Structure formats: C-alpha cells, structure tokens
Chain A
Amino acid sequence: MNGPDTRVAAETADDAPLEEEFEVAVRRQPPWRMTVRRLFRHRLFLMGLGLCSVILVAGLLAQVIAPLDPTKLAMRFKFRAPGADGYLFGTDNFGRSLWSRVVWGAQLSLYIGSSVVALNAVFGTLIGASAGYFRRIDNALMRINDALMAFPAILLAIAITAVLGPSTFNAILALSIVYIPRTARIVRASVIVLREMEYVQAAVAAGAGHWRILRRHILPNAMAPLIVQLSFLFAYAVLAEATLSFLGMGAVPPTPTWGNIMAEGRQYLVEAPWIITIPGIALMITVMGLNLLGDGLRDVLDPRLRIQQ
C-alpha cells in the first residue's frame, strides 16, 4: 500500500549501468526476443502471468461471463450464500450478484492500475529524466519530490481525493500524484549515471542535442529499472485503490470495485462473510500475480537490483 521501496533500488542503481548487456544484445538479435525467451524460462514469472491472466480474462470478458448487471437490485434475493439460488458467489445486502460485481470489479481495478502505471511512465520519466539530466533544475524538482514522498502515502491519497471528490478518475489522479515522485527518483538515478558514461560524453562532444542524447542514448538504457518499478507499481496501485475505495474515497458506488464491495460488506462480516472474502481473495490473487511478474522482470531485466529486493 505504501510506495515501493524504491529508495533502496534508486540508491544502488547508481552503479548499475546496463549498457554492456545492451550492447551485446543489439549485435546478436533483437533484445526483446532474448528477454522474452528468458522470461518464459522464469518459473515465478510464469506463475505471475498465470494469476494475472485469470484476472485479466475475467476483467476483459466481464460483460460476457457475468451478463447480470452488477448494480441490479433484487431485494428478495439478498444475503444468498455462494451457490444458493444459482448465485455462484452469492449476493450482497441488495441482492446483487457478487459474481457480477467481483468480475466487473476486476475490470475497474485493472483499468485504474494500468492508468496509474501509464501516467507514471510518462510523467515519472519526464520529471526524473529532466532532474537527472539538467542539473540546474534538479535541486528544485527533487525538493518537491522529497516533500511529496515525506507524506505517509495513503494519507496523501486520502487528502487528495478529499480535495477532488471521490471518483474513478480522481482516484487515478491521486494515486499518480502519490507514486510519480517515487518513479521519478528511479529514472533520475539511472539518468545521472548514464549521463556520465563515455559514449554519452562522446555524443555530447560530437555536438548532439540534449533531446537526441536523452532519446537515443540515455532513456533506452534507463528502461530496465523503470519497467521493473512499473510492474511493482501496478500491484501497489491496485492495492491502494482498494484501500481508498474501502475508506469510501475511491470510485463512486454503486460502481463495483473490490474496495467498495468490501466496504459495503464490512457490516455483515459475521452474517455474510463471503461479501468481503471473495473480493479480498480476488484482490490478493491480482496483487500476488503482479508481484510475481515484477520479480520475474527484475531477475531478467535488471539482475543487479535483485540484491535489494
């Protein structure tokens, strides 16, 4: 729920350039093919992929596999236990099908998680690369960064959604604001190291522009730690969104998100424990899958980081 422990990663990424591996890879075959082959030999990555696929398929096909409207009330059928009256996962206090709600919730969780990741990829790179490359603005940017990171993550997210009002979009925004400083730091750390590399200095000497140097020489080589960071970030974002929804600060009900379902089921904890248990397990599977994917990516893309995780 809190930020990934990027501090550790960031600090040691200083002396972990990846250019050797990259150069070798370029010569022999497209690097992605080799990476993919290595990923598919990685046991944990495959397990993660399996878990994530289950959720992904459920999310993508929600409309097909759960045709019952997740917000449709059926008061006569409230509190059905899983399996009763044809409700696979049972019903909640409004008689709504939990199967529909959990499956549609998967869709929303994935949507929010991937949006946060996308925003982080764009703005984290932008801010991190600028700070790392242009030392003049580094100090100012990093002070703001440090300030944002000094807040306990979930409290900052709560305060931001309190400002913006609860909605799916605002939850994405709040979580992005919370996590972008962390992503930016990782990118910055790689950029600082890469900027001093000989081949970059050579490009500078050859008169290449800043934009070209960043795009051609620095960013591609800073990708590996970023991708690893983003895969863990996905897990944190899904978890944090559920926490926000659970506290009533996420997507607006009756929109089914896992956090919303659990928040509503909370008062029926004793009598209808399935209302909180089922989305809780779904959430766990997703986060675990993403963490395993992240482990795999880290091992393959960025082996030096392994030490720290």
Chain B
Amino acid sequence: MARTGWTSYGLAASMTLALALGSTSALAAPFKCPKVGGDFVFGQEANVNSLDQMTSTTISTRNVAMNIFEALMSRDESNKPITDLAESVTESPDGLVYTFKLRQGIKFHNGKPMTSADVVASWQRYKEKAIERQILDNVAAWTAPDAATFVVTLKKRQPTFMEFISSFSQPIVIVPAEFKDDAPQQLHTVGTGPWELVEFLPGSHVKLKRYDGYVPNTKYEERTGFGGYKQACFDTVTFRIVTEAGARVAGLRTGELQGVEDLPFVSVADLKKDPKITILPLENWWVHIASANNSQPPTDNVKFRQAVMALLDMDEIMEAATDGNYKLNVGFQYPHQATYSSAGKETYNQKNPAKAKALLAEAKYNGEPVVLLTNKDYTSMYNAAVVMAEQMKAIGIKAELKVVDWPTSVQMQGAASPSPGWNYFFTGYGTQPALGALAVMNFFMGSNPNYKPKPGHEDPVLKAEWANMNEKVDPKERFAAFERMQARILDQALVLPFGSLTKVQGVRANVKGYKPFRIPRFSNVWFE
C-alpha cells in the first residue's frame, strides 16, 4: 500500500488481493453510530440547480448527490479505486473483460431491489446523456448474464479503465431502471445511498433524511473515501445555501449552522478561539491556474510566455488569492499523492524580473496589450489576476484585466483556436488533480480548453507522452510519461500553476466524525 492511486492499480492481481483483505476484515466490529438523531444543517456556498450527477458536474450538485447515490466503483480515502455497489470485480487475463458481481440485498429508496437490470439501464443513460460519457467510448458491449452479474467488454485493452469508471468527477450512479429515459437534469432522485431526498428547493435548501433500508458494505468496517461501511447517524441533513461568506461565519458562530464549507480565511483566527467550533482545513482544494492563449500574440511566443513565468512571484499572487491560506505547489499533483512529481520545478516561482526582461527582449515584445481574462464569481481567481497584472506592469508589460462572469469567460476561452480577446485565462484545477495525473493531463489534449495551439501547431511531445500515459501497461512507465509531460508543459509555460489553495471548513464542536474530503460526507458523523 506504499504506492496508492493509479500506479498501484490496473493489475487484476492487486484487486483480488484487496478483496481478500476486505472480506477478512468484515469479521471485526463495524462502525456503529455512538449517537443517533438530530438535524445537521450544512451551510453551502453555491446554489444547487439539479441533483442529476450525470448531467451536471458542478461541485454544488455533487455535495448533495454523492450522499444519495452510489456507483459500482468509487475511490477510497487515499484515492484508490474500490468497489462500492459491486461485491467484486475481476479483469480477464487479456484485460478486455471486466466482470462485476453486485452486492446482494441492496434496495433503492423507493423500496425496489437493485439488480443488474438497473445497472444496465444506468450505464445506458450515462452513455447517452452524461457529460463525461466519453469515458465509455472504449466499451464494446455490456451484458447482464444474471441478476447479480454485470459484464463489460472493451474494444481494446485500456489499463486505465478502472481509474476512469471509479472517478467521482461524474460517477456512473446506479438508479432504478425505470428512470433510464429521464431527461437531462431531471433524473428522479432515487438512489441506494444512506440518505434519501426529502425536499429540494433550488436557491434555498435541500433536505435529506436517513434511509432506513440502507444496506452498508460489510466488506469494510469504516467509511473510506466515498465508499466503505457507511451509516447515517443524523435523522436529517439540511444543505442550506448561504452565499454570503460573512453569513456563513455568523451562522457557524451562533450554531444556526452545524457545518460550513469555505470559511473566509480572515475569520479563521478568530473562529479558532471559539471552543464551540472546530476548524477543519481541507488542503489542496485546487491548483490555481492561468492558462496561456497560444494562438494570440504575444502569448503565442514561447519566449514571452517564459518571460512571464520567470517574472511571477507566486507567494504574492497566492497571498492575495487566498488571503494567505495556500501552499506553494509545483505542477499538477499534490505532494501527498503517490503521483506527485516536481518535474519542471526550476520554472516555478522564479521572481526574476531581470531574466524576464531579457526574455521579453528576445521575444521582441513591444508593448502589445496582454489581456488577463478573469471572473468575479470565484474571488480567488479574480484576486490572483489583479496581482499578476500589477507584477507584469512593473516590468513594462501592458497588462489589462478583463473581468466577466464565469460563463462568459469559459465561452471566451473555449472558442475554437485562434480564440481572440484574451491572453491568460484564470481558472482552477480542482477535481482533476485529486483524481490523479491522468485526469489532469486530459486538460492538454485534443481541443481541450486549457491548451490552445494554433491549428497544425500541436506539440508532438505532449501527444506522444499522453499516448504513453494511457497505453503503457506498466504503471511506472505511465508515471514517467506523466513526469515528462508535466515538465514539458511548464518549460513551454503553457499554463501557469500558481499554487494550491486550502479550503477551510468548520463544524460545531459537538459534531464528531466529520472529516473534510473533496465532497462533504455526512455518513458516520454524529452529534455528541
């Protein structure tokens, strides 16, 4: 278990081993709620528009839906793929056939038992409607030989298949077969998870209650990641939308809210003094990024991009972006991850105006405007852009801010290359770095939004390494390809990773068992 994450995964042998361990541990006593009852009110920052995870990838949707729905596979606490609704999964020796055995006795919130027919219907809906449906592109067919078995056949060997289908960015949640034709955003909210929906009023709140017919996964004795042995201890969980940061702070103080996400860092010092409040930092929430537009001058010039890379003082940028709650971070993975690599670290945080000026001269930069495209919906992105603009102005680059709302900025930078009107686009890589190297490198391939070469000028190095990352059977080789890809991206200054942001969550001190995770988990959490 020294190497967790995708590098250890992909071999059928390791999976069988994990399953064997799982079944022995079932003999020990599983988690039992020390205390049952109460309404847990969680102050959520962003509005929830839909609970249909297949057709909405926003974090606010997942915050709620991950507690209601479950999938065959998930990730454990250290991001390793694990079975959840599946009892076991086996890979054929040629790597083309995956056979899932379903856990028995699982019932949906509407009382209907879950069978392989529901799995087939759910995968079908995912393949037709899900935003990330391309993860099933390599699937040739699936069948359900009996009520408890689901078999997937691939077109060609794909060592990373399990990594994709266990992803929590858009999990293939299992829903009753009768809902397979539900329109996008309108999926009936009926899952198998420990929580069922009571009430959903967009813009205001979502209320969930304990699902009494929940069957926990006895292969585990504790919650792990999004899977494991889950128990609902509260009677109800209420997600309340509280968009004002100050109001979330006040709500936590008064006890009106028992848990809160995204506390402003300036309030943290003061909140820590309150014995009734537990502050829980969630490190590495996202990597702050500015991606360069390679199809527009002057950022089409590698020397210019490198000049900016040489110039930037990441401490100052991250300080402003996060009010001081950050960690410097090289590249696109975090140090605690097995897939972390410091490849390309010499390019990062150079703070070298002299070198920058020399590179500017080499690039023959003569005062063209450089547009920093940012938005106000994500304050930290906006703040980072303000500071970066000031740093650039200081050495004579004519930096201009363009502040629009998030949908507009996404559309502007997403326009087909050459996409006009901007040079640096401010964003954050959140879910992808957490999912692993493969997910985050996906940002640079094809017509993906964060890499915009002029047509016909795609970087061959990136292309080759991406193929290696996907197709090499040996995890070590895949990792080496990732390291080379990261180094190349940083050397060419295709994107500027500023550092990683820590998101601060907080709960009332009488809330026990709450452990911050990418998406808040309300199972195995209780009031003392």
Q: Point out residues on A near B: beta carbons under 8 Å.
A: 71-73, 75, 79, 93-94, 162, 165-166, 248, 252-254, 263, 266-272
Contact = CB atoms under 8 A, between A and B. Distances in A.
Contacts, number: 63
Contact size class for B?
20 to 34
A139 B387 CA distance: 54
B114 to A, nearest CB: 44
A237 B244 CA distance: 26
Contacts of A270: 246, 249-250, 267
A237 to B, nearest CB: 22
Contacts of A248: 376-377, 403, 405
Interface stretch (B60-68, B283-291, B316-324, B453-461): B316-324
A165 B373 CA distance: 13
B390 A73 contact: yes
B497 to A, nearest CB: 20
Contact of B387 (A94, A165, A166, A269): A94
A79 B323 CA distance: 10
A277 to B, nearest CB: 13
A269 B246 contact: yes
Given A93-B320, A165-B404, A253-B376, 12 more contacts: A73-B386, A75-B320, A248-B376, A248-B403, A248-B405, A253-B382, A254-B386, A254-B389, A266-B244, A267-B244, A267-B245, A270-B246
Interface string B91-105: 000000000000000
Contacts of B270: 271
Contacts of B323: 93
Contacts of A93: 266, 320, 323, 383
A267 B246 contact: yes
Interface string B362-394: 000000000000001101001100110110000
A271 B402 CA distance: 29
B131 interface: no
B162 interface: no
A94 B316 CA distance: 10
24 contacts: A72-B390, A73-B386, A73-B387, A75-B320, A93-B266, A94-B383, A166-B403, A248-B376, A252-B403, A253-B376, A253-B382, A253-B386, A254-B386, A254-B389, A266-B245, A267-B244, A267-B264, A267-B379, A269-B244, A269-B246, A270-B249, A270-B250, A271-B264, A271-B267
A248 B249 CA distance: 23
A248 B390 CA distance: 21
A253 B316 CA distance: 19
A263 B320 contact: no
Nearest to B264: A267
B401 interface: yes
Contacts of B408: 165
A75 B386 contact: no
A253 B403 contact: yes
Nearest to A267: B245
Contact of A254 (B267, B377, B379, B401): B401
Nearest to B394: A73
A271 B382 CA distance: 20
B386 A271 contact: no
A79 to B, nearest CB: 7
Contacts of B266: 79, 93, 268, 271-272
Residue of A71, A94, A271, A272 with most partner-chain B CB within 10 A: A271
Contacts of B249: 270
Given A73-B386, A73-B387, A271-B266, A94 B405 contact: no
Contact of A252 (B320, B379, B390, B401): B401
A243 to B, nearest CB: 15
B376 A263 contact: yes
A272 B319 CA distance: 17
Given A94-B386, A271-B267, A253 B401 contact: yes
Nearest to A268: B266
B396 to A, nearest CB: 16
A45 B266 CA distance: 44
B453 to A, nearest CB: 27
A266 B246 contact: yes
Interface in B319-370: 319-320, 323
A248 B404 CA distance: 8
A268 B386 CA distance: 18
A73 B393 CA distance: 12
A254 B244 CA distance: 21
A30 B376 CA distance: 53
Given A266-B244, A267-B264, A271-B270, A252 B383 contact: no
A259 to B, nearest CB: 12
A29 B320 CA distance: 63
Nearest to A162: B405
A245 to B, nearest CB: 10
Contacts of B245: 266-267, 269
A188 to B, nearest CB: 37
A204 to B, nearest CB: 53
Nearest to B270: A271
A75 B264 CA distance: 17
Contact of A268 (B264, B389, B401): B264
B420 to A, nearest CB: 14
Contacts of A253: 376, 382, 386, 401, 403
A9 to B, nearest CB: 36
Interface in B435-471: none
Instruction: In the A-B complex, list the 8 residue pairs whose CB atoms are closest, starting with the nearest.
Output: A269-B246, A267-B245, A248-B376, A271-B266, A270-B246, A73-B390, A252-B403, A267-B264
